[in-house]
Each structure stands twice: as structure tokens, then as C-alpha cells.
Amino acid sequence: TKAEHLTAAQPSEFPVPAFGEHDLEPPANRDLFQPPKIERT
């Protein structure tokens, strides 16, 4: 048997972005990752 992550019917946790005209589409996935705010003093 195959490992679960190799099953094509399993939903993927991370969508793969497509190549757009100038960058990846979408360039970032804000639903999954929000970088922390940097406070400079």
C-alpha cells in the first residue's frame, strides 16, 4: 500500500500556485501565513 500523502484522492494541505505573467498566482497565501509585524525603535 502507498503512504497516505501519495494518494491522489487525498486533498492537499498546500495549494500549488500557478505561474503568472510576472510572478506566481497568488504570490502569497494570507489565509495560511501572516508574518509578524516588525516594530523598529
**DSSP type of residue 39:** P
Q: Is 18 within 8 Å of 24 (Cβ atoms)?
A: yes
Query: Can you tell me the distance from the alpha carbon of 30 to that of 35, in angstroms, rounded to the nearest whole number?
Result: 9
For residue 27, what pLDDT is reported? 75
Q: What does pTM read for this prediction?
A: 0.32
Q: Is 29 within 8 Å of 35 (Cβ atoms)?
A: no
For residue 40, what pLDDT is reported? 92
For residue 38, what pLDDT is reported? 92
For residue 18, what pLDDT is reported? 84
For residue 12, what pLDDT is reported? 65
Q: For 1-41, write each residue's pLDDT tens digit.
A: 678 777 778 776 677 788 888 888 877 778 878 888 999 98
The C-alpha cell at 34 is 501572516
23: Cα within 13 Å, side-chain hemisphere = 4
